[in-house]
Structure 1
Amino acid sequence: MITVDTEIASTAPDLPSQSQLERWVTAAVGERRSEAEVSLVIVDEDQGQTLNRDYRGKDYPTNVLSFPADLPPELALPLLGDLVVCAPVVAREAAEQGKALEAHWAHMLVHGTLHLLGFDHIEDADADAMEALETEILHCLGYPAPYADRDS
């Protein structure tokens, strides 16, 4: 069972439903875990900027932040970690990139969840593998390839 505990700390319009959020996280977890719990907070730009500055040293709001659970191995808990999504940034990026808002939200939840599962994009080969996996997951969900605009 995949559980998404959601807190809405944003006044942004057009936020996804709880069922959409759960669907996207569940798709990213896939067969990798039979049980997983994700804590999700949807924030506005001020809180997104504060968290990005405090945890990544970057003083601007970003689309999604992932905080993997750092549990001792002897604790067999299904907690993957925390995701923080900045709703205004997601909406602005979708508009700037000419993407459907729902598709961009799906991408951000899939991307963030994959980070919680240990995927990263620091090295080029890892980035290629992660982007291919994101594209495959989003395709299965019925969304277009998220990086197609870079390839054209």
Structure 2
Amino acid sequence: MTEVLPEGFQVDLSIEAGDWPTKEELEPLAVRAIGAAFASANLQVLKHTEVSLLFTDDTAIRKLNGQWRNKDKPTNVLSFPGSDPKGDAYGPLLGDIVFGYETISLEAKEMGVEFSDHISHLTVHGLLHLFDYDHQESDEAELMESLEKTILASIDIDDPYADSPLVGDGE
């Protein structure tokens, strides 16, 4: 499957803190995961929409989690939606997705998955939150998890929920 981003879609990727791979290594992972989400999930954006990905450490994401969710602990990923949708299409500022290095690294080890696969999964997970998908109620969680599994399977990543309750605690 070829993952194609919508026309003019921009991924603004920054590394702030943490022992992350380089931007040149992270960007193709992110673009592949985001492209797969657009190809598999019928997500609609306006032309020239942008998403921001911030890769940081647990200290920074803990502060954000406390400030925005009143949870004084680090987490794997947080999503901050941007502009309201215009009908079914989102954008031009889709939002921000923030990743916490130490938590993600530990989860990948505990789950026995490749670090890159876990980053790809959390990118999809965070992106779906920007499109108003959620997992607070069981029916919402089932829908979101099913969509994540379909998207990840399209890029040859195994079901992240098969043996683990770890994903999705942060957003």
Calculate the TM-score normalised by the size of structure 1: 0.89
Deviation of the 1:32 alpha carbon: 1.6
Contact map agreement 1:3 1:22 (CA 8 A) in 2: no
Distance 1:107 1:13 in 2: 16
5+ residue gaps, structure 2, are: 1-6, 166-171
Partner of 1:146: 160
Structure 2 CA distance for partners of 1:149 and 1:70, relative to 1, 3 Å: same
Q: Distance in 1 between matches of 2:61 and 2:91?
A: 27
Question: How far, CA to CA, are the matches of 1:72 and 1:64 in structure 2?
Answer: 22
Choose which of 43, 56, 74 in structure 1 pairs with 2:56. 43
For residues 67 and 6 of structure 1, the distance between their equivalents in structure 2, rounded to whole angstroms, comes to: 15
Amino acid at match of 2:111: Q
Equivalent pair of 1:94/1:104 in contact (CA under 8 Å): yes
Name segments (4+ residues, structure 1) moved above 4 Å: none
5+ residue gaps in structure 1? none
d(CA) in 2 for partners of 1:12 and 1:82? 20
Matched positions, count: 150
Match of 1:3 in 2: 10
Q: 1:32 aligns with which of 31, 43, 54?
A: 43
Matches of 2:36 and 2:137, distance apart in 1: 24
Identity of aligned residues (%): 38
Displacement of 1:72: 8.0
> Equivalent residue of 2:140, what SS?
helix
Root-mean-square deviation (CA), in Å? Answer: 2.1
More helix by share: 1
* Aligned-pair CA distance for 1:33: 2.0
